[in-house]
Each structure stands twice: as C-alpha cells, then as structure tokens.
Structure 1
Amino acid sequence: MATRPFLDSHDAYAWALHLNGRDEEAAAQSNHALALGTRNALYHYHRGMIEKSLGHPDRARAELTQALDLNPAFHPLHELQPARTQAAARPPDVRQIDVMVRDLIREDEQP
C-alpha cells in the first residue's frame, strides 16, 4: 500500500480486511479510499457494510443510502459478475435494492 496508494487499492484492502473480521483496520483503509470525497457506489457500499459490522447502524444506513444515491442501479451482486456479462445484466428494480438495504439495517436493530 505504501508504494501504490491508489483509491481502488485502499477500498479493496478495506473489503478484504472486513471479510476477515478486521473491521477496525478496514474502516481505516476505507477512510483512505473515501478521503478525497470519492463518489463511488461500491466504496460507499463497502463502507456501509463495515459500519454495520462495527455496530453503527446509522452510519451504515447513511453509507448504503449514499451508494444508491450515486448509482440507483447499484447492486452488490453485479460487482461479482465478470465485466463481459455485467453489460448484459439487467439492473435490479430500485425498490428491491431499497428493501435489501432496509433488511441489512434491520438485522442490527433487532434485539
């Protein structure tokens, strides 16, 4: 990271840390990815999921909402598809995404 401090690298590293349960470190890397006011739906989605794992539902909701504001057709599953099939993929209904985001947040709000 020190020799190639690209925003994509910070976001990818943050996501890898999150997937391995190292959310405090993930948040620090996510800070670097978003430090310049980066307007990238995937970065904000990743940050939202990190915040959710850290037990910050309001911050998670804000980041996930930002992801959808930046790209109403954003869906995390599309990010997993190869680029050649992604172009052919039909964007999900925005209402489905809204339900997905609400469900993710609601999980943290249940006792």
Structure 2
Amino acid sequence: MMQAGRLNKKVKFYSNAGDVSDHGNWVDGRALRCTLWANVREQLGKEKLEAGILESKHRATIRVRRSALSEEIETGDTAQLGEQDWKILSIAPVGDRGDDLDILCETAGAG
C-alpha cells in the first residue's frame, strides 16, 4: 500500500456521458464520478510527424488507493488534473494485494 504522504494531488474523474438533444443530435457531456487524492507520474512527451502535422503525446500514470469510488473509474473516462484533461487508456491493480490502482492516461495536442 502506498504511503498517504505520496498521494499529494487531487484528481477529478469524469465519465464520458452524452445524450441526444431534442433535435436528434448527439451532445457530448461528462459527469463527475469522483475526486481522489493521487500520486501522479508524468512521462516525457513523444513527438511524431503524422499527415504533415507535428503531433505531441504526453502520458501520465495516476496511482490511487483502491476503493469503492476508484473501482467505478473506467477505460475511456477522463481524468482532470488542474486544468488539464487526460484520457484514461488502461487501469491495473498494483501492489502485493492490489491495494492501489495505476491509471495510464494520455493527452494529445498538435503543435
């Protein structure tokens, strides 16, 4: 189990929900699932040229304590740290007893 002092960032987790408008159009939306204390490890970005556009991907691993709230987080949801949104790519239990969850996220931007 991770020491409480290492859980030093507040991260909001959103489900990517949507709905159909009165006019029959899909409207993107999201709903707050939970806010958890986490340990965030950012990785250096990778740049590549794709279709003539320089694309930069930035990844992070967010570690949270396993709980009823964190068990609701799903792949494809959004994690928000400060003003930055991260797409959740995968979730894996870690530790000897699976007491924590590692959540792999990615953000992408063209530059």
TM-score (ref. length: structure 1):
0.24
Structure showing the higher helix proportion among its residues: 1
Higher Cα Rg, which structure: 2
Higher relative contact order (CA 8 A, sep 6+): 2
Normalising by structure 2, we get a TM-score of 0.24
Higher percent of residues as strand:
2
